Structure 1
Amino acid sequence: MSKEQSFLDQARIRLLYYGFFLIFVALGALYLNVYFQNQKMLADTALFLMGSVAVLFKYLTWRPDWRSAAHALLIIGTLVNASLVYASMQTVNIITVQVIIIVIVFSYYMLGQQWGLMYSLLNTVPVLVFMIIEYNSGYIISIKPNKVDQSTIIISLFANFILLIFIHSHFYTAFLKNIRHLKNSSREQARLYSKMETAIEKAEKSAQAKSEFLSIMSHEIRTPLNAVIGMSNLLMMSNPRPDQRENLEILKFSANNLLAIVNDVLDFSKIESGKVVFENIRFNLVELMNNICGGQILKAEEKGLLFKLDVDSSLRDKVLFGDPTRITQIIFNLVSNAIKFTPQGNIWVRVTCVEDRHNTVTVNFSVRDTGIGIEKENLESIFEPFTQESLATTREYGGTGLGLAIVKRLLELQELQMTVNSTMGRGSEFSFHMEFPVSTEVLPVVVTAPETKQFSENPLACLRVLIAEDNMVNVMLMKKLLSKWSINPTIAENGERAVEFMQYGNFDIILMDLQMPVMNGFDAAKEIRKMADPKKSGIPIIALTASALFDIKEQVYEAGMNDYVSKPFKPDELLEKLNNYTLNKVG
C-alpha cells in the first residue's frame, strides 16, 4: 500500500490480505472435518481451495496486484460453487446460499458494480437452473453425492458468518474514513480556494502595479531620451562640421540603443501579459521585407558585411492578409541578431513561397549568417528571456537577451515553431513557416503623372499649431524642430491652458502631451470635443506619449484624439502626421 492510493483501495488490499488468512483457517477446519468423515470430494475441494488461497496470498505479497488476485479468487469460488451444486453435494442448501452471498458481496465491494453484477449472475443463474431441473425431472448423474452432517454445516455456517461480518465491518470502517476524509478535503479545498482567490487578487494587483510602474518608468526614461534624440536630430540637420557630425552620430547611436532596450523590455512585458492582439490587414510582403531590411542593410554595410535579401518573385504581385507589424518585429529581431553576432562575412534573408493554394500561401522566412554560431546544448536556452548563449557573449556583444524571447513568444502565440541550425564558428540559420490568406485584389500599376498643383516652398509655414506640454526641455525641442519647417507654435503648459487657448484662439492642429499637471491630455481632449464651435471641436489632435501602458492606443482614441506619436519620435514621422491632418486645409 502507498499514501497515493485511496482509502477504498487500501481497504480492499487489507481485506484480501487478512481475508486470505481467515479463509485458509476456515477451509483447514472444514477439510479436517470432511476428511475424517471419508467425504473424498468435499475434502479434495477444500484442499484445492486451501492451495489456491495460499498461492494467491503469495502472489499478493510478491506483486501487489489486488484486482487480479480478487478476480482469481472470485473465479475459483464460482467454479467451486458450481461443482458443489452439480457434483459434490447435488443439492442447494444453506451452505451454497451463503457462499453465493459472500461472492456477491465480495465482488461488489472489491471490483465495483459492473464486475459485481457479472459474478452475481455467474453464481446465481447456474444454481437457479439446477433447482428448475431438479423440480421438473429430478437431477441424476453417475457420481454419488457427499452427504454433509450437522458438524460440517455448523463449521461452514460459522466460517461464512465470520467472513460476512469481516467484509461488512471492514468496508463500513473504510467508508466512514473515506467520508471523513472527503469532509476534511472539502474544508481544505475551501480553505485553499479562499487562499487562491486572495493570491489571484494579489497577482492582479501586482500586474496592475507592474503595468503602472512600467508606464511611469517608460515616461520618465523616454522623456529625456526624447530630448537627447530630438536634439541630436536637430543638430545633425544644421550642417555640423565632420567632427561634430561624428560625435552626434555616436550620441544618437547610444540613445537609440538605450531606447531599443527599453522597447524590448516593454514589448516582452506586453507579450507575457497576454495583451498582444494580431491584426489581419492587407499588405504586400515584398514591400514589407524591403522596408524592414532597408535600414539593416546600411547597418550591415557599416560593419563591412555583405547583406543579401532574396524574396520569391511569385510573391511580388500578391496581396496578403496578416499582421505586418508583428512580422516586422520578428524579422527585425532576427536580422539585428545576425548582424550583431557576425564579425565578418555575409547575411542572407530569404523569403520563399513553399506552397501556393491560390487562396492561401505558405511562406518560409529564413535568416542566415556567418557569425559566431551557437553550441548545440545552448540552442534551447537562447530563447529564454534575459538569456544569451554565455556570459562571455553578453560581455562582448551586450544586449538584454530579449530579442529571441520576443520572437519565440510571438511565433508561439500564432502556433508556429522556429527551426534553428547552427555550427560554432560558421554561423546560424533561423527559419519558420507562416501561412497567409491571399487577397483577390490586383496590385495597381503605378503610373507617374505630372504634378498639376504646385505648393509653396513650405506648405506648413502658415500652420497654426498648439502644443500642450509641461516639460520645458520638450517644449524647447518642439519649438526648434517646428522652426525648421517655419512653424511658430503656441505653448500651453497643461491641459487646462490648452482648453483656454482653444476657446479664445484659432488653431489648425493640437499636439497633446498626455501626462500633465492640473489637467491631463485625455481630459483636455474631451473638453475640446465638447465645444460648440464645430471647427474647434473637430480640430485634429495628435497625442504625444511616452507611456508604456498596453491599452494606451485605445485610451487615446476613446478620448477623441485622432492619432498618437510615441516619444521619442522621429522628425519624419511627426512631419508625416502634420501633413496628413493639415495639408488639405493649408493647400
Structure 2
Amino acid sequence: MITLSKKIEGFIGKMVSRETDPINQARVRMLFYLLVAYAVFGLTLMFAYFYNYQFLKLIRASTIFFFSSLFIVFMYYANVWRALSHAVLILMTLLGAWGNLLIFVHGINAATLQYIWMASALGFFMKGPRWGWFYSTLNSLPVIIDVAFTDKDYFLLKVAPEVVVKPVYVYVLLFDFFLITFLHYFFFKAYSKNINNLTQTKNELKETNLKLNDTIQSVNELSNARMEFLSTMSHELRTPLNGVIGLTNALIAQSPRKDQEETLSVLRFSAENLLHLINDILDLNKLDSEKMELEYVPFNLNQLIKNIYASIKIKAVEKHIDIQLHLPEELHDKYLYGDPTRLTQVLLNLLNNAIKFTEKGIVSISCEILNQTNDKVKIRFLVEDTGIGIEENQQEKVFEAFVQASPSISRHYGGTGLGLSIVKKVLALYNTTITLESKPSEGTRLTFDIEFPYTTVLLVPSYILPEAVLTGLSNLKVLVVEDNAVNVLVMKKTLEQQNIKPDIAENGKIALDKVTSNNYDIVFMDLFMPEMDGYETTKKIRELADKTKSSVPIIALTATVNDKVINEVLSVGMDGYIAKPFRPEDLFGQLRKVMGR
C-alpha cells in the first residue's frame, strides 16, 4: 500500500513540479484527482446504464470516461492544465446542467443543482474570480430558463426523458455530493496551508531580521573596535618610526662617509617602506568604513606629476629601467581643484607597481586632455610598463585587498597587495574606475579618467614666499612641547640643520609657563602628554591676555592622523598639524610660513 502511494505521489509530483506557486500546485492536484474520480465514475456508470438499456446516458457516461482519461494523459505529458480546466468546465456545463434540462431530465432535479454547484465552485477554484463568475452564470441559466418558461416545448428538444433508475440515481447524487465536498475541502486545505506557510515565513523573516540587526550591530562594534585598535597601533608604530626616520635624516644631513651614507639610505628606505605599509592599512580601513572624503584645493597637475616623477625616478634608475613622462603643454598654466594628496597616492601606487614588476624596458606616465570647457577639464591618466604582465583570469582579483596575481609573485616580489585595492577605492570617490589591459610577459597598461574644475588664475597667500627669499630661519624662536625623549632628540637634530636651538617643554603645564614668560615665533605641540595634553594647553594659550602670546602659531605634532583628530586640532585653535614621522621639509615648510608672516 505504501509502495502504491509512493508511485501515485511520484506520478502526481511530475505534474506539480512544473509549478512554483503553491496555489497553482494545489490546482494541478485538484484537477488530477477530479479527472481520476470522473474516469472511475464514468466507467461504473457505463456498466450501469448498459445493464438498464439507458443508451443516451450511456453515451454521456462514455464521453465522461473518454475525456477524463484523455485529459489525464495530456496533463502528465504536457503542462496544459490551464487549458484542460476550461475543457473540463465546458464539458461539465454541457453534459450536466444543460444536458439535464434539454435532453436527460427535461427539467431541474437534485443532480442538476449539484452539477451547477460543482461547476461554479470549480470555476472559482481553478480559474479565479472572473472565469468563476462566467461559469457560474452559464450553469445558472438552465434554472432560470426552467422557472421562467412554463411552455417547455418552446425550448426543449423532441427527446423523451429516460426513466430514472433509483440505485443509479442515488449513486450519482452521492458521488456529486462527495465531489462538491471534496473540492471545497481540498482547496480550503491548500489555501490554509499556503497561509500558514506565509505566516511561518513571515515569522522566520522577522526573526532573521532581528538576528541580522544584532549581527550588524556586532559588526559595527567590531569595526569601531578595529578602527580604534588601528588608530592606537598607528600611534604606537609611528612614534618609534619618527625616531628612526628623523635621526636617519639628521645623520644624512651631517655629511657622513660614503659607506655610512649608503647604510643610512638603506635604513631610511626600510623605515619609509614600513611607514608606507602602515599608511596603506589605515587608508584601506578608512575607505572600507566610508570615512574618507576628498579635499577640494587648487593644485598644478604638471608640477604634481613632475614631483612624483622625480621621486620615483631614483627607483627606476636603480633597476636600470627607462622611465618616461609625457604631459600636455595645455596643463602648464591650469590649477585644478581636487585632492592632490589622494591623486599622488594613486599615481605612486601605480608607478611603484610598474617599477616593481618590470625587470627591463620602460615605465611611462602620461596625461591627455579628453574634453575641456570654460571651467572643467577631463583628463586621462595613463601608466604603462613592459613588465611581467597579468593573466587575464587574474586581472579582476588584483584589485582586491591583500590579493596578488599568484603566490609566486608574492614570494618573488613581496608586498601586501593593498596598492591596487586602495587605487580602486580612491578612484571610486572620484566617481571613476580604472581600466587594466595586460598580457603576460608583454606588460600592463592602466588608465583612468577624472574631470576637474580648474582656473588659470590662482591667488597665492602673501605668507607663501619663494624659498630663495626666506632666509634667517636661525633667528626664529621655537618651542617644542614633547614628552618623548626620542622625539625631542629628532626635533632638535632636525632644527639644528637650520641652526635653530629650540626650547623644550616636557608637558603642557611647562609649555604654558614658557609661553607666558617668553615670546615665541612658533610652537610645535604634541597632543598626548602627562599633566596637561596638547588640546588643553592650546586652549589656555589662546585665552592669554597678551595678544602676541595668545596668537602664536601652534602646530600639532601627532602620530594619529584621522579626520577626528584633525577636526579637534583645528577646533581648539591650532594652526595646522605635522604627522609623525615627518620629513624635514614638512617642518621647515611651517617655519617658512612663519617667516612669510
TM-score range, shorter chain: 0.7 to 0.9
Residue 345 to residue 156, structure 1, CA distance change in 2 (3 Å): same
8 Å CA contact retained: 1:333, 1:403:
yes
SS at match of 2:383: strand
Q: In the aligned structure 1, how far is the partner of 2:566 from the partner of 2:412? A: 37
Q: In the aligned structure 1, how far is the partner of 2:191 from the partner of 2:406? A: 58
Q: In the aligned structure 2, how far is the partner of 1:306 from the partner of 1:322? A: 30
Correspondence 1:144-159 to 2 at 5 A = 144=159, 149=164, 151=166, 154-159=170-175
Unaligned runs of at least 5 residues, structure 1:
none
Mean CA deviation greater in 22-31 or 386-395? 22-31
The residue number in structure 2 matching 1:105 is 121
1:477 to 465, 484, 490: 490
Correspondence 1:380-399 to 2 at 5 A = 380-399=396-415
1:576 paired with 2:589, answer: yes
Residue identity matched to 1:554? N
SS at match of 2:446: strand
1:214 to 230, 245, 251: 230
Total equivalences in the alignment: 570
State, as a whole percentage, how many aligned pairs show the same letter. 35
8 Å CA contact retained: 2:119, 2:136:
no
1:81 to 54, 72, 93: 93
The residue number in structure 2 matching 1:160 is 176
Residue identity matched to 2:225? A
8 Å CA contact retained: 1:271, 1:410:
yes
Deviation at residue 404 of structure 1 after TM alignment: 1.2
Residue 287 to residue 24, structure 1, CA distance change in 2 (3 Å): farther
The residue number in structure 2 matching 1:442 is 456
Deviation at residue 380 of structure 1 after TM alignment: 2.4
SS at match of 1:430: strand
Residue identity matched to 2:554? I
SS at match of 2:128: helix
SS at match of 1:551: helix
Residue 333 to residue 457, structure 1, CA distance change in 2 (3 Å): closer
SS at match of 2:530: coil
2:557 to 544, 553, 565: 544
Q: In the aligned structure 2, how far is the partner of 1:240 from the partner of 1:99? A: 112
Q: In the aligned structure 1, how far is the partner of 2:241 from the partner of 2:119? A: 85
Mean CA deviation greater in 326-335 or 101-110? 101-110
The residue number in structure 2 matching 1:120 is 132
The residue number in structure 1 matching 2:501 is 488
The residue number in structure 2 matching 1:22 is 37
Residue 509 to residue 89, structure 1, CA distance change in 2 (3 Å): same
Correspondence 1:165-204 to 2 at 5 A = 165-182=181-198, 184-204=200-220
1:338 to 325, 345, 354: 354
The residue number in structure 2 matching 1:514 is 527
1:273 to 285, 289, 305: 289
Residue identity matched to 1:168? H
Residue 179 to residue 76, structure 1, CA distance change in 2 (3 Å): closer
Residue 6 to residue 251, structure 1, CA distance change in 2 (3 Å): same
Deviation at residue 167 of structure 1 after TM alignment: 2.7
Q: In the aligned structure 1, how far is the partner of 2:201 from the partner of 2:316? A: 64
Mean CA deviation greater in 326-335 or 16-25? 16-25
Residue 454 to residue 571, structure 1, CA distance change in 2 (3 Å): closer
The residue number in structure 2 matching 1:57 is 72
The residue number in structure 2 matching 1:498 is 511
Correspondence 1:319-334 to 2 at 5 A = 319-334=335-350
What TM-score results when the alignment is normalised by the length of structure 1? 0.85
Deviation at residue 98 of structure 1 after TM alignment: 3.7
Residue identity matched to 1:77? L
Residue 499 to residue 24, structure 1, CA distance change in 2 (3 Å): farther
Mean CA deviation greater in 537-546 or 17-26? 17-26
The residue number in structure 2 matching 1:564 is 577
CA-based RMSD of the aligned residues comes to: 3.6
Residue identity matched to 1:540? P
Mean CA deviation greater in 342-351 or 418-427? 418-427
Deviation by residue 1:436-493 (Cα, 9 ceiling, x = unmatched): 1544x334799xxxx99996841x3332322221110000110121122233322222
Residue identity matched to 1:347? V
SS at match of 2:363: strand
Deviation at residue 216 of structure 1 after TM alignment: 1.5
Deviation at residue 52 of structure 1 after TM alignment: 3.7
1:466 to 475, 479, 488: 479
What TM-score results when the alignment is normalised by the length of structure 2? 0.83
